[in-house]
Copies of this chain bind each other. A is one copy, B any other.
């Protein structure tokens, strides 16, 4: 009865350019601040705590005339079965008719929009003259963060990569990143830019202008006393109650922005500083979209520590999925099913 476009992971990898995803994510944040979006309540279920869970995030983008959901399964023991532990599925529907438009694999889209989010946090909050980026976490997600950051900070001189579990993971990332950026993202790295795996996180923290954290950590990896004035943090990893990547004391004097206030207080990096009364909800300067929409200013001076806490909102997935669907239409990519 309806033709629905199906896009696989491979399709979305071919279709999406990071530059365009950054624009889409920036627009969604702005729309959210301008009340042109609606985030529906999150559904989360643990099949077995710490072993398997799933969540359904959904919402409505009024300007784009789309609504829909992303369902993400996490099954930690899938590795033993030669299956990915994270599986994501995005459903996009037309909000003028309720008709489904497309069903997409969510893995690559999530990576792209999360990379864009972390880098946009830096764009609006880091010092414009930032030269050193530190990635905390050297997994798959970090590649997207680096790709987006290089596009928004073309003058970066150093990228430090730290892995809290295994130094070799960071070394491997450094050894392959230039080729990956070229092959998967079409980004040519200038020879003047140095990638470096770091073992001493304290030292690396003290040298960094922008720090992006992308780990599933449940205790702080970076302590307040290591942080130099003017540092910006994009905290990406914490998206579940109990997760934290940086010393909650860093929040005390920082200028703090979030992607979604309620969600960040419930499950983001902001959860623990609020629950420990280090900051109050009112100490959050706003949502990142408030800066983009011109409602408030980001960084107030060069000495200020700034934080962007991003928990991930379905609106980003939906808008990025719509971008992929539009691009697929232009070149007749993907398959179409009649349902």
Contact = CB atoms under 8 A, between A and B. Distances in A.
Interface stretch (A18-26, A69-77, A205-213, A235-243): A69-77
B75 A97 contact: yes
B58 A56 contact: yes
A337 to B, nearest CB: 5
Interface string A123-162: 0000000000000000000000000000000000000000
A62 to B, nearest CB: 9
A43 B104 CA distance: 21
Contact of A97 (B41, B67, B83, B93): B83
Contact of A87 (B6, B83, B98): B98
A73 B47 contact: no
A91 B6 CA distance: 14
Contact of A38 (B8, B45, B97): B45
A132 to B, nearest CB: 36
Contacts of A91: 71, 89, 91
Contacts of A56: 40, 43, 56, 58, 69
A60 to B, nearest CB: 7
A254 B171 CA distance: 72
A1 to B, nearest CB: 6
Given A1-B9, A41-B41, A73-B99, 5 more contacts: A2-B87, A8-B337, A73-B93, A75-B97, A78-B97
21 contacts: A1-B107, A6-B337, A38-B45, A40-B45, A41-B41, A43-B56, A45-B60, A47-B67, A54-B93, A56-B58, A73-B97, A73-B99, A74-B98, A75-B96, A75-B98, A78-B97, A83-B97, A89-B91, A103-B103, A104-B339, A105-B339
